[in-house]
Structure 1
Amino acid sequence: MKIGLIIYGRLDTISGGYLYDRKLVEHLEAAGDEVAIISLPWEGYGSSLLHNFWFALAEQLRLADFDLLLQDELNHPSLFWLNQRLRQQVSYPIVSIVHHLRCSELRPSWQNWLYRQVERRYLASVDGFVFNSQTTRQVVQSLLGNLPPNVVASPAGDRFQPTITPQQIEERAQQPGPLRLLFVGNLIPRKGLHVLLEAVAGLPKSDWTLNVVGDTAVSPYTTRQIQQQIIQHGLAKNVALHGALDGAALAAKMAYSHVLAVPSSYEGFGIVYLEGMGFGLPAIAGRGGAAHEIITDGVDGFLADDVATLHQQIHALHHNRAQLSQMGLAAQKRFAAHPTWQQSMSRIRNFLHFTIKNSQSTIHNSS
């Protein structure tokens, strides 16, 4: 297969969505397929709308000899109108990889209403979908009604190949000292680090420590707010901001920690929860989005909507190490039962083959 993939910026950008796209490209290329990356510049939402009128982009896509064009749905403002013209000029199908919709995020309703209008038009302009969760599929279906051909292929958590044993999980839980919390996510409001800090600020400082792993440059304003919050609550000795870490360093943090806490307001899936579970870490997540597809509340992690609930959950895990151990073992079992990256990406490749064959058959029958 000769496949094009449209993304913003670089494929090695640190985020769950880019990890998913990167794993798919690696799988396709390992299977002998050819993938051409078409990178659009990161710009503001309004400026991205102008990409629809770029002659050079339209010509590049019109003249491409792809068997199929993949688009990360993140690029929807750049493509929502361009796709409508493109579908009349090319024979290859267009498939969108949908991680989560922008209009699903927490923001003023009037803003999400505007985003919803653009996203709905974009979603209606493609021939098929790759969804990362059943939740994402349901959200898109609620906007469109009937869906074109699609596949749900959930992300995996096995990129670190964790080797921790059940005995080590139990021993780690029983170690004396503070509860070692880990937050992994870019420092943006949606990830909920500010909520987590408010929750732990009310706990005795001897009860917990927090390692924060995530890019601090994505939103400098949010990073400054987090730093001010740490100073305001006198948490500097308890909280360490590490910035982005490479895979080995992040895996080491997970092996060392007791709990993964990322109370995001919305996740289309939440790869990091599953990755933490591979190390026997109970996951604390927000209720928005698809976290409930990974976490069984009270069994292998917790779902929390507010500071008070987070406070209570963290307090309970610190003072009840038997519960911490039990939930850590349950988390590891949940991880083991989940499909691997190889299995999920193979599912997508099979769907892409089907889409191409179906498109070719349609063209042949209509000619």
Structure 2
Amino acid sequence: MRVGLVVYGPLDDRSGGYRYDSELVGGLRAAGDDVTVVSLPERPYRKRLRDNVTAVRRLRALDVDVLLQDELCHPSLVGANALLDDETPVVSVVHHLNSLERFRAWRRHARRAVETRYLRSADAFVFNSETTKRTVAAVTDPDPSVVAHPAGDRFASFGAPLDDDEIRARAADGPLRVVTVCNLEPRKNVDGLLRGLARARDDWKLTVVGAAVDADYADSLSALAVARGIDDRVTFAGRLSDADLAATLRESHLFALPSHYEGFGIAAVEAMGFGLPALVSSAGGASELVTHREDGFLVDPTDPAELTDAVAPLCRNRRRLQSLAISARDRFLAHPTWDETAATVRSFLLDIVGGAD
């Protein structure tokens, strides 16, 4: 099978969506498929709209059986898809909708109009969660489609998953060590995490791992930590190598990322492999991964008190922490691997290609 994939910039593992695309390409190639990656320029949203003309030229030049498009690229494809060869099915890979992010009303309305038009131009979809499928169903028919959850097994060579003895020994060690892994941008709600932790009177430490994609927001987080008097307990580690991130996850007790919205949450899956209960947002697809109070917590991202109420008891009750940690590891073991996710998507694409003949 000959597959094209459209992304912005280089295909790398800088964030969840890019990692998903990268793992998918790796799985398709391992199965013998020929995958061509088309990299569109990363520019501000308005300028991306101007790239439809050049996108058409580049995509028409492809000789593929099916064309995958990361939905993130919708501004550059919203007009292009209507001008492509109808014989080549277009499959949109949807991680989460941009129009669901926290914009001013007029901007959100404008982006939703563009995004809806793009979604209606696709022939089929790959969704990272049932939740993401429902958000698309609100604006267009989401079928034919397949839901293929992101996996988290990339740290197998670094000792994940942890065994019971390792988890038990760590649970009793030192202050509660919380870790969050994300790009530093407002949607990730690290400020809400800081506010919630600042309310906890017990002993804890937080490591924030991730690139400062929004410099002003990253600066505001440092200022917030100082203002709340917790700067001595918060470490901003920046982006880490896989080896250093694995070491950080292995040493931590709890993963926390109460995003305002998350299509699924690859970082949470990866953390659970190290036996970290996942404290995540009830807004989005995390409920498909985390069972509240069994292997983690689902909290309202707008209410720091919910986060405090989840974290504070774990600072004192290490038996409870240990139980949650083992359950989190077991949930990870039951989750699909990247090979299985890629195989699910590939089977769907073969059906689409067969149906297009």
TM-score range, shorter chain: over 0.9
C-alpha RMSD over aligned residues: 1.3
1:122 to 114, 118, 121: 118
Give the structure-2-normalised TM-score.
Answer: 0.96
2:279 to 284, 287, 307: 284
**Is 1:132 paired with 2:132?**
no
* Unaligned stretches of 5+ residues in structure 1: 361-367
**Is 1:356 paired with 2:328?**
no
* Unaligned stretches of 5+ residues in structure 2: none
1:181: how far off? Answer: 0.5
1:236: how far off? Answer: 2.5
- The equivalences for 1:26-65 within 5 A come to 26-54=26-54, 57-65=55-63
Separation in structure 2 between the aligned mates of residue 155 and residue 222 of structure 1, nearest angstrom: 27
- Structure 1 SS opposite 2:259: coil
- The equivalences for 1:72-221 within 5 A come to 72-86=70-84, 89-144=85-140, 146-161=141-156, 162-175=160-173, 177-204=174-201, 207-216=203-212, 218-221=213-216
**Is 1:274 paired with 2:272?**
no
Q: Which moved more, 1:29-38 or 1:69-78?
A: 29-38
1:192: how far off? Answer: 1.2
- Structure 2 SS opposite 1:159: helix
Q: Could you say which residue in structure 1 is the equivalent of 2:10?
A: 10
Separation in structure 2 between the aligned mates of residue 229 and residue 91 of structure 1, nearest angstrom: 54
Separation in structure 2 between the aligned mates of residue 163 and residue 313 of structure 1, nearest angstrom: 24
1:58: how far off? Answer: 1.7
- Structure 1 SS opposite 2:154: coil
AA partner of residue 192 (structure 2): V
1:264 to 259, 268, 282: 259
1:344: how far off? Answer: 1.0
1:294: how far off? Answer: 0.6
Aligned residues: 352
Please give the per-residue CA displacement for 1:160-182, whole angstroms capped at 9, x wherever unaligned.
Answer: 1204111211221122x311000
Please give the per-residue CA displacement for 1:89-143, whole angstroms capped at 9, x wherever unaligned.
Answer: 3521111100010112233333222211111110110111001000001111111
Q: Could you say which residue in structure 2 is the equivalent of 1:248?
A: 243
AA partner of residue 71 (structure 1): Q
AA partner of residue 74 (structure 2): H
Separation in structure 1 between the aligned mates of residue 204 and residue 222 of structure 2, nearest angstrom: 18
- Structure 1 SS opposite 2:155: coil
Q: Which moved more, 1:109-118 or 1:97-106?
A: 109-118
- State, as a whole percentage, how many aligned pairs show the same letter: 44
**Does the CA contact (< 8 Å) of 1:106 and 1:266 recur in 2?**
no
Q: Could you say which residue in structure 1 is the equivalent of 2:310?
A: 313
- Structure 1 SS opposite 2:309: helix
1:347: how far off? Answer: 0.6
Separation in structure 2 between the aligned mates of residue 104 and residue 300 of structure 1, nearest angstrom: 27
Separation in structure 2 between the aligned mates of residue 321 and residue 109 of structure 1, nearest angstrom: 45
Q: Could you say which residue in structure 2 is the equivalent of 1:20?
A: 20
Separation in structure 2 between the aligned mates of residue 117 and residue 248 of structure 1, nearest angstrom: 42
Q: Which moved more, 1:146-155 or 1:40-49?
A: 146-155
Please give the per-residue CA displacement for 1:60-98, whole angstroms capped at 9, x wherever unaligned.
Answer: 222321111110000001101111121xx3521111100
Q: Could you say which residue in structure 2 is the equivalent of 1:363?
A: none
Please give the per-residue CA displacement for 1:199-236, whole angstroms capped at 9, x wherever unaligned.
Answer: 122233x60011111012x1111111111112222323
Separation in structure 2 between the aligned mates of residue 119 and residue 41 of structure 1, nearest angstrom: 18
**Does the CA contact (< 8 Å) of 1:133 and 1:268 recur in 2?**
yes
Give the structure-1-normalised TM-score.
Answer: 0.93
Separation in structure 2 between the aligned mates of residue 44 and residue 13 of structure 1, nearest angstrom: 21
**Does the CA contact (< 8 Å) of 1:77 and 1:119 recur in 2?**
yes
1:155: how far off? Answer: 0.6
Please give the per-residue CA displacement for 1:29-48, whole angstroms capped at 9, x wherever unaligned.
Answer: 11111111111111111111
- Structure 2 SS opposite 1:5: strand
